[in-house]
Amino acid sequence: MAEWERTRSKPPRAVGRPGARAGGPPEAPSRVWLFGLHAVRDALLNPRRVRRRLILTRNAADRLGEAVAQGGLEPEIADARRFPAPLDPGSVHQGAALEADPLDWGALETLCAPRAGAAAPTVVLLDRVTDPHNVGAVLRTAEVFGAVAVIAPRRHAAPETGALAKAASGALERQPYLRVGNLAQAMADLRALGYRLVGLDGAAEATIGEAAADAAQAPLGLALGAEGPGLRQLTRETCDALARIPAQGGFRSLNVSNAAAIALYAAALRHPAR
């Protein structure tokens, strides 16, 4: 039996880099339970992640052996039928759960600042998008298209949870997800950094392709609201421009994660060599 397979009675050792929640003043981190093989594996391999407790079935321990060894946290081996992690009954944990602190990505002004010699950055702003599966999908898409951050308010938005991490399929560990106290203020801070802010609105005259092209080589912020309510009035008014996704046929509403993918693709076309 490998040494890390033995469960000890002493409290688990925290592993990783401590820090506060991103996008605001330091605060005592609340714990989060991550679950699922992909989410747990990538959290074990992420040096930013402060890890507290790891629970695995023997099958999951075999599949995550390399990540467990690199993560430095000794797992508790559990029976799949009596899995002790405090997860929702419907959680598909695949025999893997990790208790950890939320990630610290630093300040918005530092993370999103344009870099000399680099392509103009793109950020995604989510206005009251509360579904963790949608946010997880947006994080995956943002990582694919190289967005520097996904930004959402601390209230009335999906927090960092196990369900979000599983939907992101590991992207949560690599794609910055900043929670801010006030979305309009965050947009003002981005404008001060040189960003052009474009909000998606189905009634807008310009298309997202035209709005992205108009931004030329400027940093670009893409603001999206939840399907149905869309952007709040203050968010709309804070944008520099509104744009729509061109659609054919009678059905013109897209899930926010699909809309984010189209908008990020339009933004990426500004840098064809990337």
Task: Please give the C-alpha separations between residue 68 and each of 3, 73, 83, 177, 268, in angstroms, as whole numbers.
Answer: 12, 7, 18, 25, 36
- Ordered by where they begin, the domains of the chain are 3-100 (no CATH), 108-268 (3.40.1280.10)
CB 61 within 8 A of CB 77: yes
State both tokens at 251: 């059905």
The tens digit of pLDDT for each residue in 219-269 reads 999 999 987 788 999 999 999 999 999 987 666 678 999 999 999 999 999
CA distance 100 to 96: 13
Cα torsion 53, 156, 202, 140 to 10°: value is: -10
* pTM of the predicted protein model: 0.85
The tens digit of pLDDT for each residue in 34-49 reads 999 999 999 999 999 9
pLDDT of amino acid 6: 38
The chain-wide mean pLDDT, for the chain, equals 88
Radius of gyration of the chain (CA): 20
234 contacts: CB under 8 Å, gap ≥ 6: 184
Please report the beta strands in 71-202, taking only residues with DSSP state E, as ranges in sequence order.
76-77, 96-100, 122-127, 149-153, 177-180, 196-200
